[in-house]
Amino acid sequence: MPALFKPGSNTAFRVTLFAFGFLAVGGGIAGPMIYVRSPFYTQIGDPIDQPVQFDHRHHVGDEGIDCRYCHWSVEKSSQAGVPQISLCLNCHSQIWNKSPKLAPIREAFFADRPIIWNKVNKLPHFVYFNHSIHVAKGVGCVTCHGRIDLMPAVHKAQPLSMAWCLECHRAPERFLRPREEVTNMTYEVPEGHTQLEVGLALKAKYHVVSRVNCTTCHR
């Protein structure tokens, strides 16, 4: 029987197979790499549905309640935390206590069960993050979360990717502000000064160091 393939075709086949394999592997790597950098994956700007329509504009914007009143652990712990219903009822047992929008809060309170808020900002489990150090070193909420005071429903404002974390960690002076201003959504450096001047002064004052070791965030 004549050989189906000429001896040389073997090499040609291998070359083709290699090329296809390469493309497949290439696509297998490059595809996800492009995808994880696209807004489809990072979900920047997508508001998340919540069990109660909590609107930061009414609470932070109009009422001027400080972030720390509700996210009270942000200065002390790794987590900022989302408030319990009893905290809502500090006010809402008196004001807007008949509002249908608050019905789920009242029901949950009397049934003694928590409201489960859907997470908007979420890092993979292999990443270590800590709120308190950022707040203590003068990184504002707005730098990472955007204008929460203008959001009817919270959406993710930044990619929270490794490149994004490192961008700041390499030279944090470009983002630092006085500690007293961390929850201020509209802070600006004083007139006649630049962010770099203010940032470098605060970097020295708060002993801020550039942290780019892998073990800073992967431990």
Contact 175, 139 (CB under 8 A): yes
* Nearest C-alpha neighbor of 20 from the set 12, 9, 4, 5: 12
- Number of residues written out for the chain: 219
Residues numbered 20-39 forming contacts with ligand HEC, rule: CB under 6 A: 36
Residues numbered 66-105 forming contacts with ligand HEC, rule: CB under 6 A: 67, 69-71, 74, 79-83, 87-88, 90-92, 95-96, 99, 101-102, 105
170 near ligand HEC, rule: CB under 6 A: no
Q: Which is nearer to ligand HEC, 1 or 214 (CB)?
A: 214
What is the distance between the terminal CA atoms of the chain, rounded to a whole angstrom? Answer: 64
Enumerate residues 6+ apart whose C-beta is below 8 A from 81: 71, 72, 73, 74
- The distance of closest approach from Cβ of residue 104 to ligand HEC in the complex, given in angstroms and rounded to an integer, is 9
202 near ligand HEC, rule: CB under 6 A: no
187 near ligand HEC, rule: CB under 6 A: no
Q: Could you say which of 15, 103, 150, 209 contacts ligand HEC (CB under 6 A)?
A: 209
Q: Which is nearer to ligand HEC, 14 or 113 (CB)?
A: 113
Q: Could you say which of 108, 109, 139, 202 contacts ligand HEC (CB under 6 A)?
A: 139
For residue 143, the one-letter residue type is T
Measured CA to CA, the distance from residue 148 to residue 54 in angstroms comes to: 12
Q: Could you say which of 15, 17, 116, 127 contacts ligand HEC (CB under 6 A)?
A: 127
Residues numbered 143-162 forming contacts with ligand HEC, rule: CB under 6 A: 143-145, 148-149, 154, 160-162
Output the six-digit token pair for 101: 């929008």
Integer CA distances (angstroms), 114 to 3, 49, 87, 88, 150, in order = 74, 17, 12, 12, 26
- The distance of closest approach from Cβ of residue 194 to ligand HEC in the complex, given in angstroms and rounded to an integer, is 17
